[in-house]
């Protein structure tokens, strides 16, 4: 799509001002392509050289364990030392403040953070028909069938959530029921409200994808997300008499990406394990550990196992080992896509027929603000 001239000029001016603040060093903006390569989209220089615009993904973002998300954009320049790079993401919201108010980012990095924020806000403004004052068309949210389905499902779910809240308020005042029992019922209803909230969040993500929006990306505590998922899934599996055990000594580990995607990833793996264990209920074990600079998530069952010829195909879209009508063949496809595309990780499946299956997800851990000194050029 050809950008309007005001947009091109505005972007060029942002890059030019950043270059001045950085002592005249050329500043470039890149976009991650479908091939996971950084393609230059603009420069502060009228005729930039290859040396000024060639940013190696392997030597920068991937080495820093930053997720390589298609469509994400980055602004950067070479450090004053020469060969090293300083980069920052293009975004529409400022980054979180530094922990305890201790700023670790260099002046160069802060300059590029501001440039990335200006570029992101300019993108958002120019993408609206008629400029910043134009009112968005409400029909743009549901331009495809998935968007329409998500929109129609969200309305009754929102109404159901409101009804649950009213029921909880009434129950709290219902003195005819013993206090202990009231607390149990309120806790169960609260869990249903949480489930509804997650469903609404998933439907919002469907609508975003339907209109071409990129996945949500933020800094979040992965341990908290995984622990919460295991707590809620253990209650779901209790009806099937399948115990769910969670083993981890980690307190917190921060990743960059969509926390809902990580939650759904684990739900898929746990429920696949539960389906495999249906014939002979045995504990499903979820382990979480840090191994070097990676977070290792393990889901292990003692179920039916997978035939060797099927293990090689389980990540193929539409392929499933379940009975007709019981599986879509897309769960593990989504899991693999999230692991690789969002978190730049890997997934490994080991299975023995009649013994069980172990799935190991390995996710690179980006530098942690609270403990790791941030090297020059590492994006948050």
pLDDT higher than threshold 80 for residue 157: no
Query: Which whole number is the average pLDDT over 51-70?
Result: 77
User: Distance between CA atoms of 195 and 230, rounded to whole angstroms?
Assistant: 13
Judged by DSSP in three states, 131 sits in coil
Cα 115 to Cα 90: distance, rounded to the nearest angstrom: 8
The region of weakest confidence among 194-208, 213-227, 301-315 is 194-208
Q: In angstroms, rounded to a whole number, what is the distance separating the alpha carbons of residues 270 and 284? A: 8
Q: Judge whether 122 and 75 are in contact, CB under 8 Å.
A: no
pLDDT tens for each residue of 181-207: 888 888 888 888 877 777 776 666 655
Q: What pLDDT is attached to residue 7?
A: 47
Reference 88, options 111, 68, 65; nearest CA is 111
Residue 363, exposed/middle/buried by CB under 10 A (0-12, 13-18, 19+)? buried
Q: Domain 5-127 is of which CATH architecture?
A: 2-Layer Sandwich (3.30)
Q: What is the pLDDT of residues 86-119, one digit of tens each?
A: 888 898 887 766 666 677 778 888 889 888 888 8
- pLDDT value for 82: 66
* Mean pLDDT score of the chain: 78
| pLDDT for 137 beyond 70 | no
Tell me if 66 sits within 8 A of 366, measured CB to CB. Answer: yes
Q: Where are the chain's structural domains?
A: 5-127, 144-210, 219-364
Between residues 126 and 353, which one has the greater pLDDT?
Answer: 353
Token couple for 165:
């809240």
- pLDDT confidence of 159, banded at 50, 70, 90? low
Report the distance separating Cα 47 and Cα 292, nearest Å.
43
Strand positions, DSSP E, the chain: 28-32, 38-43, 73-78, 85-89, 218-221, 244-247, 254-257, 284-291, 294-300, 346-352, 356-364
Over residues 41-56, mean pLDDT:
83
Residue 350 pLDDT: 93
Closest C-alpha among 79, 90, 87 to residue 118: 90
3-class DSSP assignment, residue 28 = strand
Q: Which residue has the higher pLDDT, 20 or 127?
A: 20
pLDDT band at 293 (very low <50, low <70, confident <90, very high): very high
pLDDT band at 380 (very low <50, low <70, confident <90, very high): very low
CATH of domain 219-364: 3.30.565.10
Which of 48-52, 245-249, 257-261, 317-321 has the least mean pLDDT?
A: 317-321
Report residue 201 as tokens: 């969040």
Q: Do 164 and 224 form a contact (C-beta atoms < 8 A)? A: no
How much is the pLDDT for 125?
67
Between 296 and 379, whose confidence is greater?
296
pLDDT at 71 over 60: yes
Q: Between 373 and 273, whose confidence is greater? A: 273
pLDDT at position 376 = 44
What is the CA angle 122-127-129, rounded to 5? 125
Listed ranges 46-55, 110-119, 316-325; the one with the highest mean pLDDT = 110-119
- Residues 166 and 107: their CA atoms lie apart, in Å, by 52
- How far CA 238 is from CA of 230, 245, 287, 303, 322, in Å, comes to 12, 12, 19, 16, 22
The CA-based diameter of the chain, rounded to the nearest angstrom, is 79
């Amino acid at each position: 799509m050809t950008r309007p001239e005001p947009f091109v000029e505005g972007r060029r001016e942002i890059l030019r001002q950043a270059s001045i603040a950085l002592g005249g060093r050329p500043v470039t903006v890149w976009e991650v392509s479908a091939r996971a390569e950084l393609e230059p989209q603009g420069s502060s220089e009228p005729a930039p050289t290859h040396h000024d615009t060639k940013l190696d993904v392997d030597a920068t973002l991937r080495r820093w364990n930053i997720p390589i998300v298609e469509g994400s954009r980055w602004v950067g320049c070479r450090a004053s030392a020469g060969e090293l790079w300083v980069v920052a993401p293009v975004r529409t919201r400022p980054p979180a403040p530094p922990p305890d108010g201790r700023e670790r980012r260099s002046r160069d990095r802060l300059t590029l953070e501001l440039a990335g924020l200006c570029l992101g806000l300019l993108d958002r403004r120019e993408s609206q028909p008629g400029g910043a004052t134009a009112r968005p068309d409400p029909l743009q949210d549901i331009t495809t069938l998935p968007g329409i389905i998500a929109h129609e499902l969200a309305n009754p779910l929102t109404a159901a959530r409101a009804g649950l809240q009213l029921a909880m308020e009434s129950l709290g005042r219902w003195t005819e029921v013993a206090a202990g029992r009231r607390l149990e019922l309120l806790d169960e209803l609260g869990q249903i409200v949480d489930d509804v909230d997650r469903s609404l969040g998933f439907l919002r993500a469907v609508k975003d994808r339907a209109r071409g929006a990129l996945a949500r990306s933020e800094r979040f505590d992965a341990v908290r997300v995984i622990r919460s998922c295991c707590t809620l899934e253990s209650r779901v599996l209790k009806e099937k008499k399948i115990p769910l055990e969670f083993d981890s000594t980690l307190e917190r580990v921060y990743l960059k990406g969509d926390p809902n995607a990580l939650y759904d990833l684990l739900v898929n793996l746990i429920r696949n394990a539960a389906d495999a264990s249906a014939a002979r209920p045995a504990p499903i074990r979820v382990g979480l550990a840090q191994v070097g600079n990676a977070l290792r998530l393990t889901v292990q069952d003692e179920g039916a196992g997978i035939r060797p010829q099927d293990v090689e195909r389980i990540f193929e879209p539409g392929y499933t080992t379940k009975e007709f009508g019981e599986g879509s063949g897309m769960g593990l496809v989504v899991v693999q896509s999230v692991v690789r595309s969002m978190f730049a990780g890997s997934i490994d499946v080991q299975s023995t027929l009649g013994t069980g299956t172990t799935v190991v997800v390995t996710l690179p851990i980006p530098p942690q603000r609270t403990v790791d000194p941030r090297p020059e050029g590492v994006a948050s």
